[in-house]
Amino acid sequence: MENYNIAQALSEVAIKTPERTALLCPTAGRYQGWTFAEIERHVSAYAHGLTRVGVVRGDRVILMVRPSLEFICLTFALFRIGAPVILIDPGMGYKNLLRCIGSVQPDVFIGIPAAHLFRNIFPAPFKTIRIKIMVGTGFGLFGISLRKIADFTRGSFLTVDTAKDDLAAIIFTTGSTGPPKGVQYGHGIFQAQLRLIKDYYGIKPEDVDQPAFPLFALFTVAMGACAVIPDMNPAHPAKVDPAKFVSSIQDYQVTYSFGSPAIWNVISRYCLARKIKLPSLKKILMAGAPVSGELIARVKGILSADAEIHTPYGATESLPIASLTGTEILAETWNLTRTGHGTCVGRPLPGMEIRIITAVDGPISQWSEVRELAGGEIGEIVVKGDVVTRAYDHNDKENLLAKIIDGDEFWHRIGDVGYLDDNGRLWFCGRKGHRVKTRDKVMDTIPCEAIFNEHPQVYRSALVGVKDAGNKFEIPVIIFEPYHRVSHPDQLLTELAALAQGNVLTSSIKHFLMNPAFPVDIRHNAKIFREKLAVWAAKRI
């Protein structure tokens, strides 16, 4: 039987290139590096230690550790044991965090002191935990010390054989539409993602990655490239220190980087203001929210002519499924985006099938119940392929809403609406749950918002719906966040009303509100929480 265990990929790289640098992490104000042989040695030492204290195959392990050597090696050690890793963004808010932890019923808790303190303050969701392990200095107050159990004397730890669908991890969604959901990742999903990312984006062993999202450091190491962990808080990417981020790119000649548009907005402005170029960077992957042509042009201004920007599209449940280059966006699609055609996110990646169906709010049990739409028609986006996950954890209700059975296969309802153009490219028009259903029509967020984003004082806008007097239909409202303090708000509102009247997509909008700081998701600091804005708007209309 083929072993799909993703930890096997690291072992193979360590055998081929043991002395190549695998990881660089900021430690006590400076970067420290480890080779693939050293990473492999730490993974085995942790795996031996974890099994000695009772961690066994099938145990669900919550890992709350900052991006570091320990994060990388513990994750691979747990893969190697066959114990599923549970990864939750701590910045999602303590109520969501507690609900997520309780839902997965963890057996083991591995965390830094602050995470263990949180566990002690709110013990109820942690009641299933039988083993507690401390990463860092805890003076014996929070469980067994990882440093003490790590066993470097026993040599290599043999990776357990795992089938394609054996559970490798549970990764939670951002919660940008409704409560965060735990997505089950089989080892086969990770293998498919690894292969797709490596082949499509041409990642080579000599590449150096600076991933702003911790999970991507695992992919980098497994692909045999070097990961440089940026000196930043991954829970707040928009607050990145650009000087530190740029310095590590320059010091270690980083060749590619994955990050949200919010990060590259900060980095590009910093570099352009100081006339800094980043010639080593050959690929930038921007994802997590629609990427504007203006941002792409700005980032291109700090790169060499042979560098390229990519905008992979997908979701926690299915990533990546489509991709487009910045060059094609600027040359062909951005002007259409600006005039309300949606955001082009590219062509399906190899092995991915994307269809557009009539949007339905409830479950669709069988593919025979689906009505496929023709090219150019906006509908619900569904996808099938090797990187598409099979289920949410302990959540039958959401599984029924998200999956459509098609013979021996299934389609995933990604939760977005969009259309396919004549060139086979997918255009994103917003979240299905964010559509505004007025008395006369259904309005999609991204096309409508584009009209108002053209105003020079508008940083971003959000279309939301407020229930009418009969509570049956919605009144469309545009909320905008300005770049700077607005000295003449009445004049700006008048100008936005004129923009609305000038486009058939937005002519029915009569209400405009200003909000100085939009609520956004934790993971990317880019997805707008329109549900929160809708509640805010309802109190003002």
Per residue in 116-133, pLDDT (tens digit) is: 999 999 999 999 999 999
- Please say whether the beta carbons of 379 and 358 come within 8 A: yes
pLDDT tens digits along 42-97: 999 999 999 999 999 999 999 999 999 999 999 999 999 999 999 988 777 788 89
Task: Report the b/e string of 141-175 with b at 16+ CB within 10 A.
Answer: ebbbbbeebbbeeeeebebbebeeebbbbbbbbbb
Please give the C-alpha separations between residue 533 and each of 13, 386, 432, 450, in angstroms, as whole numbers. 48, 36, 16, 18
pLDDT of residue 469: 79
Mean pLDDT of 232-258: 95
Q: What percent of the chain has pLDDT over 90?
A: 89
Model confidence band, residue 176 (pLDDT cutoffs 50, 70, 90): low
Largest CA distance in the chain: 73
Q: Work out the average pLDDT over 180-200.
A: 96
β-pair partners for 427: 344, 419
Residues 469-495 have a mean pLDDT of 92
CB atoms within 10 A of CB 360: 16
The C-alpha atoms of residue 404 and residue 434 are separated, in whole angstroms, by: 22
Banded pLDDT at 226 (limits 50, 70, 90):
very high
Q: Token digits for 449?
A: 């918002």
Amino acid at 471: N
- In the chain, what are the domain boundaries? 7-229, 325-430, 435-538
pTM for the model stands at 0.95
pLDDT per residue over 314-341, tens digit each? 999 999 999 999 999 999 999 999 999 9
pLDDT at residue 168, rounded to an integer: 98
pLDDT of residue 522: 74
Q: Give the ranges where 349-433 is alpha helix by DSSP (H).
A: 396-402
The verdict on domain 325-430 having CATH code 2.30.38.10 is yes
pLDDT score at 525: 72
Which amino acid, one-letter code, is at 297?
A
Mean pLDDT taken over the chain:
95
Per-residue pLDDT of 260-277, as tens digits, reads 999 999 999 999 999 999
| Residue 472's pLDDT band (cuts 50, 70, 90) | confident
Per-residue pLDDT at 177: 67
Contact between residue 263 and residue 520 where contact means Cβ atoms under 8 Å apart:
no
Q: Which residue has the higher pLDDT, 525 or 223?
A: 223
pLDDT in tens, 295-317: 999 999 999 999 999 999 999 99
Looking at per-residue pLDDT, the higher value among 523 and 231 belongs to 231
CATH superfamily name and code, 435-538: ANL, C-terminal domain (3.30.300.30)
Mean pLDDT of 504-509: 96
pLDDT at 90: 75
pLDDT over 80 at 417, yes or no: yes
Cα–Cα distance, 354 to 231 (Å, whole number): 37
CA–CA dist 213, 174 (Å, integer): 13
* 7-229: CATH architecture: 3-Layer(aba) Sandwich (3.40)
Nearest alpha carbon to residue 7 among 165, 184, 146, 194: 194
In this prediction, residue 521 carries a pLDDT of 81
pLDDT for position 526: 78
pLDDT in tens, 363-410: 999 999 999 999 999 999 999 999 999 999 999 999 999 999 999 999
Q: How confident is the model at residue 205 (pLDDT cuts 50, 70, 90)?
A: very high
Burial group, residue 462, by CB count within 10 angstroms (0-12, 13-18, 19+): buried
Nearest to 352 by CA among 389, 386, 325, 380: 386
Whether 465 has a pLDDT exceeding 90, the answer reads yes
d(CA 101, CA 316): 18
325-430 and 435-538 in the same fold: no
